[in-house]
Amino acid sequence: MLVGIDLGTTNSAVALWKDGAPQLVPNALGKDLTPSAVSLAKGGQAWVGQAALDRMATHPADTVTSFKRMIGTAGTVTLAGTTLTPEDLSAMVLRSLADDVEAATGERPSGAVITVPAYFNERQRRATRRAGEIAGLEVKRLINEPTAAALAFGLADRGDREPFLVFDLGGGTFDVSIVEMFEGIVEVRASAGDNRLGGDDFDEALVRLVEPLLTDPDALARLPADRRHALLTLAAERTRRALTTADEADFTLVADGTSLTARVTTEAFEEAAAPLVKRLRDPVIRALRDCHIDVKTLSDIVLVGGATRMPVVRKALTRMFGRFPNTTVHPDHAVALGAAIQAGLLSGGDGLEEIRITDVAPFTLGVGTATRDQHGRYHDDIFAPIIERNTPVPVSRMEGFRTLSDNQRQVVFAIYQGEARDVKKNVKLGELTVPVPPRPAGEVGVDVRFTYDTSGLLEVDVAVPSTGMTRNLVIVDEDDRRSQKDVEARRKALEKLKVHPRDEAENVAMLARAERAYEGFTGQVRDVIGQGLTEFQGALDKQDPRIIADAREGLGRLLDAIEANPPL
């Protein structure tokens, strides 16, 4: 049996394709949603879901939530003396969902389609696959959450739809996708997002707002830090939900027998959440820009994710798009239902023969290179894109490179995923070395081909036409985080020993602005911005104030012209 699973930051759900429709499978408590929470006791007892969440207030040190935000990292969590990885914790939730399916159907699922945020990078996607494997499930496909939601939205009437925007704000992540449907094809045109923005962040904003206003703050201060944070977070979530249907609500909690309360108004909460609401805008602009669609031509704004229930979010969207968003899909169920539709497609479910899905590469894929400025200085670790983000997959692209120095005997290609011009800010996926004949600089060419498929598999082929030498690499897990961390720590220590013009406020601001612009565009515009950055960095290396000022002014004019016509 193949099931669809929405593995969420706050809640998870499982569904299957049955009798020609996707159907949610309730858990042991009869609920469609299972909290993504795990709690352990020293005797080895484990709780998953609501039972674990109920222990948060009393056993905060032995309970964890929101571990999805850690997946794909080297982070671990120790509960009751047991150290667990984010994959372990996710696997416990997945196994609990599989138990629910077995209890409801009498058959244990053997495979699953698992949803991930559209903006998850390769490490996070591989870690999610590992979690499924740890749970005893064969992960047949990872599907982007907004794509799954678009499937659930589009299957309602199966009619053709002009491009529409899926706005997915969950407990810990934010995604936006532009989707079009025609003749049974669900085509994702572009995706963008923020993996560190969700309902949890709005809860934290509420805690910061209310904590100084509580009736007896000293009672709270006497509690251990982990228990204090757990009580405040749980109270904030309750209050936030209450504010979705009321103009004001009481923020209440009990600390060691003392009842603490504070009145919160919608207006005060909206003011506290304003910086978070502002962050919702940039991914929308990026997605619209990447697929060259005017906001006025969007046929619908579809809301997905429990956090979209907040009036502060819906008001912001109404102002942003000049219309009311579409709320016909269930914000908590749409992603799991869409995953079940994808599972039905893979298993040949009845009624799905004419539906096809196309998706896009969520991040740019490329290699690290070096470039030379007009002063003759080389700048290393410059990202050279090969497959741009939001390119339809499967896809194959090739770029040519040349040797950098005389009598160079090998070329090392480090492979990265990300949007930053400085490769150290991107995710390193692997490395490939190819020998070249010793010749004068620039005389030997090397062709690099990237092939990326719908399952997220990246294959790299490197060829030296002059010798016929080839190398191939299929990207697999690579853990180089420790060495990278050591290098960064040493570099930061050395940087403290000198004051360089790049550290002056005006130059830092201009570099940051240019880096943001570079990440925000693709294609020829990105190349122009990259060249402008190279020239400005070259001016900084000259350490001549007049040259730096002129270069800064020129880069500013370039960015002004590029940013003058945003799509929204």
Q: What is the pLDDT of residues 49-59, one digit of tens each?
A: 998 888 888 88
The CATH number fitting domain 498-568, selected from 1.20.1270, 3.40.1840, 2.30.29, 3.40.50:
1.20.1270
- Would you say residue 32 has pLDDT above 90? yes
State the pLDDT at residue 486.
41
The catalytic residue positions are: 6, 68, 145, 168
State the pLDDT at residue 499.
36
Residue 92 tokens read as 């416990």
| For residues 175-186, average pLDDT | 88
Bigger pLDDT: 481 vs 164: 164
CATH code linked to domain 361-496 = 2.60.34.10
The CATH number fitting domain 199-275, selected from 3.50.50.60, 3.90.640.10, 3.60.40.10, 3.40.50.300:
3.90.640.10
**498-505 LR contacts (CB < 8 Å, sep 24+):** 500/540, 500/543, 501/540, 501/543, 501/545, 501/548, 502/537, 502/540
Q: Please tell me the distance from the alpha carbon of residue 268 to that of residue 178, in angstroms, as a whole number.
A: 33
Local confidence band at 45 (pLDDT 50, 70, 90 cut-offs): confident
What is the per-residue pLDDT across 361-371, written as a single tens digit (0 to 9) for each? 989 999 999 98
| For residues 439-468, average pLDDT | 90
Helix (H) or strand (E) holding 397: strand 395-402
**How many helices, marked H, and strands, marked E, lie in the chain?**
15, 27
CA-based radius of gyration for the chain: 25
- Would you say residue 555 has pLDDT above 60? yes
State the pLDDT at residue 481.
41
| For residues 431-457, average pLDDT | 90
| For residues 95-109, average pLDDT | 94
Enumerate the domain spans of the chain: 2-197+280-360, 199-275, 361-496, 498-568
State the pLDDT at residue 353.
65
The CATH topology of domain 2-197+280-360 is: Nucleotidyltransferase; domain 5 (3.30.420)
| Residue type at 454 in one-letter notation | T
| For residues 81-103, average pLDDT | 92
| For residues 152-167, average pLDDT | 78
State the pLDDT at residue 153.
87
Local confidence band at 149 (pLDDT 50, 70, 90 cut-offs): very high
Q: Please tell me the distance from the alpha carbon of residue 36 to that of residue 234, in angstroms, as a whole number.
A: 14
**Strands, E, within 127-257: which ranges?**
138-144, 161-169, 174-182, 185-194, 248-255
What is the per-residue pLDDT across 330-350, written as a single tens digit (0 to 9) for each? 999 999 999 999 999 988 877
pTM over 0.95: no
